[in-house]
């Protein structure tokens, strides 16, 4: 996790924010509907709180107890344990919804090979073509779905001890749970980076649900073509984000 943060700081210092090269068009295109955004933020909120409370279970005694003392640490840890256990339910629901909601756009295809070969546009100056989700996002999707399934299954084995497990089984579950969870957190730190300060115009996709047409053309050119074929170019171009004064 710390390694990922160091890497991202170096990457940001070298590369800076990925800008919309052609500038903003002032025309928006819908990227995620309200339900998709609700599911994303529900899952993300649970994930962040479970990550913090989970890290407390693993590292709290060493890192936090000496700083805040035994009384505060035991009250906080008790509350943190409840948060960690109860938020597992909406988190698991969120992962299941993400699985079904976005699986259509996340099946690997030939376009992904070119995207990966061209380093997602980081190498060279031009952006490789991509449909709604590029190869990097597909990796994030599958890490969320498979990593989410792994932490959920092993977590429930630990939450309900001896239901189908022995001590040895629970020890294995604990190792898998802890290892997958910290790797998962490291990946999601990178995801949050690219969705905020890493790329101009990305956050609004999950914030307001729309992106600038030029952003979409630069990062998801094939998706824009699909949308234009589906709704007609007029529909997409019809809603300038800034209306000129009369």
Positions touching ligand HEM (CB under 6 A) are: 31, 40, 43-44, 47-48, 98, 102, 133, 137, 140-141, 144, 188, 191-192, 195-196, 202-203, 205-206
Which residues are registered as beta bridge partners of 30?
Answer: 210
CB of 91 to ligand HEM, least distance (A): 8
Sort 118 into a burial class: Cβ within 10 Å, 0-12 / 13-18 / 19+.
middle
What length is written for the chain? 246
CB of 235 to ligand HEM, least distance (A): 19
Distance CA 42, CA 93 (A): 9
Token output for 54:
């989970």
Nearer to ligand HEM, 20 or 98 (CB): 98
Q: What is the DSSP string of 58-113?
A: HHHHHHTHHHHHHHHHHHHHHHHHHHHHHTHHHHHHHHHHHHHHHGGG-S--HHHH
CB of 30 to ligand HEM, least distance (A): 11
**Residue number, nearest CB to ligand HEM:** 195
Nearer to ligand HEM, 48 or 65 (CB): 48
Nearer to ligand HEM, 31 or 177 (CB): 31
Nearer to ligand HEM, 56 or 201 (CB): 201
Residue that the structure tokens 């709604």 belong to: 132
CB of 152 to ligand HEM, least distance (A): 11
Nearer to ligand HEM, 65 or 142 (CB): 142
């Amino acid at each position: 996790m710390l390694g990922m943060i160091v890497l991202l700081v170096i990457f940001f210092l070298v590369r800076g924010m990925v800008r919309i090269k052609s500038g903003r068009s002032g025309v928006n295109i819908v990227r995620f509907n309200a339900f998709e955004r609700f599911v994303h933020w529900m899952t993300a909120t649970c994930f962040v709180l479970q990550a913090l409370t989970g890290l407390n279970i693993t590292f709290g005694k060493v890192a936090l107890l000496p700083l805040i003392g035994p009384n505060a640490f035991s009250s906080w840890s008790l509350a943190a344990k409840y948060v960690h256990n109860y938020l597992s339910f909406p988190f698991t629901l969120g992962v299941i919804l993400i699985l079904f909601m976005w699986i259509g756009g996340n099946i690997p295809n030939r376009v992904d090979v070119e995207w990966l070969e061209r380093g997602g546009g980081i190498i060279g100056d031009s952006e490789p073509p991509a449909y709604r989700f590029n190869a990097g996002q597909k990796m994030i999707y599958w890490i969320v779905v498979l990593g989410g399934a792994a932490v959920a299954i092993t977590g429930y084995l630990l939450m309900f001890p001896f239901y189908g497990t022995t001590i040895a089984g629970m020890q294995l579950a604990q190792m898998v749970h802890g290892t997958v969870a910290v790797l998962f957190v490291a990946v999601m730190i990178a995801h949050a980076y690219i969705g905020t300060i890493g790329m101009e115009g990305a956050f609004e996709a999950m914030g307001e649900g729309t992106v600038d047409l030029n952003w979409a053309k630069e990062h998801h050119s094939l998706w824009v073509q699909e949308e234009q074929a589906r709704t007609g170019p007029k529909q997409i171009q019809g809603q300038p984000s800034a209306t000129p004064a009369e």
